[in-house]
Amino acid sequence: MLAAGSLSLFDAVRLVRKRGQYMQDAVPVGQGAMAAILGLDGKVLDQICREAAQGEVVSPANLNSPGQVVIAGSTSAVARAVDLAKGRGAKRAIMLNVSAPFHCALMKPAQDRLSVDLDATQVEAPQVPLVNNVSAQVVASASLVREGLKQQVTSPVRWDESIRRLRQEGVDLFVEVGPGKVLSGLVRQIDRTAECLRVEDLVTLGEVMARLTPRGGV
């Protein structure tokens, strides 16, 4: 949202801080969990989550790439889903070391609090095409940007679909900013023909700038 010109740097940093605080406050430590499930069909995993819920919350939270999904919810429900996934052919099903169950219905208190802040924040229409990872669709208005930021707190991150949509829009080069190359790896799992660069220090920044700067340009 910041890079697309929808938010100022000041507001973006302020909202990120508040969002993190609200999500941490939403569920007491130990009562929520997340787990990575590898190698299962999406429909099979949906069924597993329904069976494992037993009146609690567990649902897909990060749809990362074909065969890689992170689930989130109540600790006991997530544990039941992990056991079911192992019994139904998952290549791996492991609990994650996270502080809260992000991107699921348990984050509704955080969503409500953040919505108040977003309604009081100046949000502009994107200056460049922006794909919202809640819907995996291109959004072009300030209202859709604001609504997407609200919904993203409790909705799954549709990374797989978002990358495919970007490819449909003609994007063939992705730049990952931050330590490591996890996102670049996911992009390559989704589309082997996509080119991925990363910036995590001055060396890699120089490499990316050299790649992006036209020959003879500045």
How confident is the model over 40-55, as a mean pLDDT? 95
Q: What confidence score (pLDDT) does residue 99 get?
A: 86
Task: Give the span between the Cα atoms of 61 and 33, in whole angstroms.
Answer: 11
Q: pLDDT band at residue 218, thresholds of 50, 70 and 90?
A: very low
Domains, the chain, with CATH or none? 9-23+107-212 (3.40.366.10), 30-99 (3.30.70.250)
Which burial class, exposed, middle or buried, applies to 179 when counting CB atoms under 10 A from its CB (0-12, 13-18, 19+)?
A: exposed
Residue 91 near residue 39, CB atoms below 8 Å: yes
- Mean pLDDT, to the nearest integer, of 49-54? 97
pLDDT digits (tens, 9 = 90+) for 99-146: 899 999 999 999 999 999 999 999 999 999 899 999 999 999 999 999
**CA–CA separation, 215 and 116 (whole Å):** 48
Helix (H, G, I), strand (E, B) or coil at 78: helix
> What is the tens place of the pLDDT at every residue in 6-30?
999 999 999 999 999 999 999 998 9
- Residue 3 contacts residue 145 (beta carbons within 8 Å): no
pLDDT for the residue numbered 114: 98
